[in-house]
Structure 1
């Protein structure tokens, strides 16, 4: 009965926090998902609707032709695999995300109960203590990243560690190995945490003479071999390719004070506060809460002898937990907003590889946090007995639940259904008559403000089983500048189908540019609320229903000065490769920047562009020269005389007559302001252009 009550308590808490539409897969909720939930769902549905491929979790409905491994969309791969099998067999696509959330909450308290029981607590005390594992703030906080709600795996690993070091035998060894292998197809972070605890159990079990050499070495061999085989089979590791990695180690870390400083708490001024040096330290949110901190203080004061007894003979577990906690701090250690330590370990090749894969290091405090809670309850049980633990655990539970009410409210708000950002029915109808969705710029290159639209379009494309270039993955080596330049030359660049629907985001593509590139590709566009939808001519009714026609293309006249600072009317003539405008103008960004304009009247013969520019410079560094093209024809380079604002001239060979000017400025050897020590801007900048004029050559 006690395990069932513990499991039921977790289910009940999930039902109190989350909307029923989320938990039970209602279309009214899931058709409107955004954020990480949308990324998870899009990866799953694209995988399920695609053909079977190798590696097993690859789909080419996202980022064709190579496709992506849906491991990097975090859809809980094991559940996605089972869902695809069901879909291929029956045509019904199960939505497992809500049931997974219910299961994870139930298993959280059940695994906590199991851990406390194997540590010697009586059933009532273990049940009361198990409820505290449900209100660990970092567990509640992890909603929005479905696989990482599976904290029960850490608790199960700790319980199996106790069995390996107390009872020995093959059973806990095989269960521990099986748990780690299961985590390979749930989440790699949880897999590593569980593996750290299980491997410590094999070692400490051997040192404590509870496991023999065959059991310890056999378990380790099964674990490492199994992880390797599954990682290759499922595409997490691809032979001949470096492991997929991303930047951010040291940014997504834990603050040294995070476990003890109230956050998302009823403390004054802390309702929405997350302690962070760099902003990415939300990934290291590990506040323990007043209830749990209070138990830890009591355990140290009253039960320090039982605490030491618990640690005795468990040296490898202590080292594993402390090692993971140290990794959580990363090589850039912050205490509050103070940067107190920097270690150059990334220069060491193996560490650089590991930190690139497991870049969100702040999560690795979780095993130590759970162990501390369990250890405190064990120590207090030794001093105060089972009844004392029940009373203290329930008091701590009440204090904890009251203190972290802002955290509960925050999660409930994040879990609410999103408001629609597109006319879903209209976009479904339009996409049905096309064979591909191209989005410019795609998700990984788009601004944060555009992401809700991209989530919504991705959900529609996945539902229809239509491929899209806009893959919502959590790491990629995509060159956004190169892609932007490619699309200005050919709007169909990268298209795999014959009849794509092309979406251009208005924040990145001007009406003039949309018209020009669409016309060159044999497409026409309508204006949508967030940009433009372009398709082959004549536009079909379903596309016309997405928005209104574009007005006539704006032009510039010869000898007409055009300004490009913030708010100026010349911004509409800037193509790819420009920064957001400022009072200084628009900075060229990346190796190539383009100006695209239609002339008020055709121009015959050579042209000249005169531009008012400010080159990026610092000390001896100066962006001195730009290679120039007109309509992809090479022109003589343009040069600046030195730092500071100045006018440059570029002669543009034009052997015939033209009514369009596509001017390219290409730069070599660019460095960022960050590299130059000017500020933290990592962009490769060239010249800030404040004004330009096109005229006929003398």
Structure 2
């Protein structure tokens, strides 16, 4: 009975699909009449327009105003950290490496890299600082251009596999509206997914080592990835490795020695760029590379079909709250496309040769996926495998503790596969129909995500007393007793205090930055400061109330903040 029911259901469904196809076929067959072989420039232009339009559809135009900082300060999250890092950096002295900020988290300091402020843009705009407004921000325009470049690079990537303008436009829309990109919108540096797509495009387009394009393209890409976020750099380097070994398979005459020299050269370039952006500041006591969390911010095995952002289905559980870092939902339309692509792939003639040709890319995807899963492999809220790690390995892996992010490369490859598997196996008109259908499902499924209101909180600056202006002329340092790197800090509007400190060129012994750590030596020096009453006349002290009885200072409340000065 069940078999009969399934058979009848399948027959009815296939008849309905055939009926719909016959009804709209006269319109679909017109589409391939558009120019079939579209130039890379036009492909990128169409993609850029789609990316920019989608951004403006979701977000308020005011984000593009470089003088509007209310949405940045009102968010109070990662994006506020990024803005305040830039705000401190712009008013700090030039140092070497260029990315260091000595006055922020004083006296240890930090760097523009650890504040996730997109270092290459921070350095660019710092050179123009005398010409810029006090409230200048570039993060809103950066987000906008990320979406433009997401469309641009995805269109080029799709064009590398199929040239039809309609397929390129429809495919680009899948990349532009994908939920993984939108999910990272609050962490501005990690919205630079276009860098990964550009690397995949290089892989698909550059067929020889013996060109100037090879070196110039990868050099440019490594500069942007290093100047945006180190996670992106690692992923780009993995694709660079895959590309090199892929070309070695194509060109048997290419020497292993040349291959190794290429890798050594680009590793050297990466290290120089990272050092210049301040990522190797540990030697100066600026920041600790490691932090706990490897295995906590990991990829769940249900990530591709976990409906956390779906309007149609209920989300599946995570094993840890940190597994949002491994969010990789394909969307209902994306899932259907991937299933169809898999079915087409296993029936593809010459499958073994095809897999062998792309074995370096497959190997990179496997390695990145395993690292993303971490040593604690989970499905839903269950831990399936837990491999104990030696402490040195745990510390090493914790440098990139948000391992779930590394699945972005396999994720985008999965989105790309339909455009060179299905496109070559299906009639053009039928492929277009499938893309339109799955794209409609994708939008319907993710409607709830697209309708979420983001960056709507507005900032109300709390340090409004005129006394702050007076203090800014008389003092040079602000010291929290204790700062967060020592113990629980005073309960104050810390974002406003950081903004005030940066604007007035104060040094501040706290801050918001990645990989914070306890600095025992400095914390002990604060204890000695209080014990010996060796307070500085150019410093404002903001203590927790329980320390007041130990302080020989003149303390008053200004805008609900307890501010103490040397008598």
Same fold (TM over 0.5): yes
2:507 counterpart (461, 464, 467)? 467
1:458 counterpart (483, 495, 498)? 498
Name the TM-score, length of structure 2 as normaliser.
0.83
Aligned to 1:262: 307
Distance in 2 between residues matched to 1:421 and 1:450, nearest whole Å: 16
Asked if 1:516 corresponds to 2:549, the answer is yes
1:226 counterpart (257, 269, 284)? 269
Secondary structure of the residue aligned to 2:383 is strand
Aligned to 1:533: 563
Distance in 2 between residues matched to 1:151 and 1:336, nearest whole Å: 26
1:356 counterpart (398, 414, 429)? 398
RMSD (Å), alpha carbons: 3.1
Query: Shift in Å at residue 366 of structure 1?
Result: 0.2
2:408 counterpart (366, 380, 385)? 366
Asked if 1:194 corresponds to 2:236, the answer is yes
Distance in 2 between residues matched to 1:286 and 1:418, nearest whole Å: 30
2:64 counterpart (5, 18, 23)? 23
Residues 138-170 of structure 1 show CA distances to partners (whole Å, capped at 9, x for unaligned) of 111001111100001111111111223479744
Aligned to 2:371: 327
Distance in 1 between residues matched to 2:193 and 2:354, nearest whole Å: 23
Distance in 2 between residues matched to 1:493 and 1:13, nearest whole Å: 59
Contact kept, 8 Å, 2:288 with 2:517, in 1: the verdict is no
Cα gap change, 1:219/1:369 in structure 2, threshold over 3 Å: closer, same or farther? Answer: same
Cα gap change, 1:534/1:295 in structure 2, threshold over 3 Å: closer, same or farther? Answer: same
Contact kept, 8 Å, 1:165 with 1:211, in 2: the verdict is no
Distance in 2 between residues matched to 1:461 and 1:19, nearest whole Å: 29
Bigger Cα displacement from structure 2, 393-402 vs 210-219: 210-219
Aligned to 1:437: 478
2:213 counterpart (167, 171, 181)? 171
Matches within 5 A, 1:378-393: 378-393=420-435
Matches within 5 A, 1:20-419: 20-25=61-66, 26-30=68-72, 32-88=74-130, 94-165=136-207, 169-209=211-251, 212-213=254-255, 216-237=259-280, 244-270=289-315, 275-306=317-348, 308=351, 311-347=355-391, 349=392, 351-352=393-394, 354-410=396-452, 412-413=453-454, 415-419=455-459
Distance in 1 between residues matched to 2:262 and 2:110, nearest whole Å: 33
Long gaps (5+) in structure 1: 538-698
Long gaps (5+) in structure 2: 1-41
Cα gap change, 1:500/1:125 in structure 2, threshold over 3 Å: closer, same or farther? Answer: same
Cα gap change, 1:404/1:444 in structure 2, threshold over 3 Å: closer, same or farther? Answer: farther
Cα gap change, 1:489/1:224 in structure 2, threshold over 3 Å: closer, same or farther? Answer: closer
Contact kept, 8 Å, 1:255 with 1:275, in 2: the verdict is no
Contact kept, 8 Å, 1:333 with 1:340, in 2: the verdict is yes
Distance in 2 between residues matched to 1:491 and 1:113, nearest whole Å: 64
Distance in 1 between residues matched to 2:177 and 2:531, nearest whole Å: 51
Distance in 1 between residues matched to 2:425 and 2:372, nearest whole Å: 32
Distance in 2 between residues matched to 1:92 and 1:457, nearest whole Å: 16
Cα gap change, 1:207/1:303 in structure 2, threshold over 3 Å: closer, same or farther? Answer: closer
Aligned to 1:651: none
Aligned to 2:462: 422
Secondary structure of the residue aligned to 2:243 is helix
Contact kept, 8 Å, 1:168 with 1:210, in 2: the verdict is no
Residues 199-228 of structure 1 show CA distances to partners (whole Å, capped at 9, x for unaligned) of 110011012217833763443232112112
Distance in 1 between residues matched to 2:148 and 2:389, nearest whole Å: 40
Cα gap change, 1:306/1:110 in structure 2, threshold over 3 Å: closer, same or farther? Answer: farther
Query: Shift in Å at residue 103 of structure 1?
Result: 0.7
Distance in 2 between residues matched to 1:84 and 1:163, nearest whole Å: 36
Contact kept, 8 Å, 1:424 with 1:460, in 2: the verdict is no
Residues 156-185 of structure 1 show CA distances to partners (whole Å, capped at 9, x for unaligned) of 111111223479744234412431233111
Distance in 2 between residues matched to 1:456 and 1:310, nearest whole Å: 57
Aligned to 1:490: 530
Query: Shift in Å at residue 295 of structure 1?
Result: 0.5
Distance in 1 between residues matched to 2:321 and 2:184, nearest whole Å: 17
Instruction: Please tell me whether Structure 1 or Structure 2 has the larger radius of gyration of its CA atoms.
Output: 1
Query: Shift in Å at residue 120 of structure 1?
Result: 3.1
Question: Which is strand-richer, 1 or 2?
Answer: 1
Cα gap change, 1:33/1:140 in structure 2, threshold over 3 Å: closer, same or farther? Answer: closer
Query: Shift in Å at residue 311 of structure 1?
Result: 3.4
Query: Shift in Å at residue 481 of structure 1?
Result: 11
Query: Shift in Å at residue 435 of structure 1?
Result: 1.9
Contact kept, 8 Å, 2:246 with 2:357, in 1: the verdict is yes
Distance in 1 between residues matched to 2:327 and 2:119, nearest whole Å: 25
Question: Which is helix-richer, 1 or 2?
Answer: 2
Cα gap change, 1:157/1:493 in structure 2, threshold over 3 Å: closer, same or farther? Answer: farther
Aligned to 1:608: none
Cα gap change, 1:484/1:459 in structure 2, threshold over 3 Å: closer, same or farther? Answer: farther
Query: Shift in Å at residue 387 of structure 1?
Result: 3.2
Q: Higher relative CO (CA 8 A, sep ≥ 6), structure 1 or 2?
A: 2
Query: Shift in Å at residue 381 of structure 1?
Result: 0.6
Secondary structure of the residue aligned to 1:502 is strand
Contact kept, 8 Å, 1:86 with 1:94, in 2: the verdict is no
Distance in 2 between residues matched to 1:159 and 1:231, nearest whole Å: 24
Residues 281-303 of structure 1 show CA distances to partners (whole Å, capped at 9, x for unaligned) of 11111111111001011112244
Residues 604-636 of structure 1 show CA distances to partners (whole Å, capped at 9, x for unaligned) of xxxxxxxxxxxxxxxxxxxxxxxxxxxxxxxxx
Name the TM-score, length of structure 1 as normaliser.
0.68
Cα gap change, 1:449/1:485 in structure 2, threshold over 3 Å: closer, same or farther? Answer: closer
Distance in 1 between residues matched to 2:202 and 2:108, nearest whole Å: 41
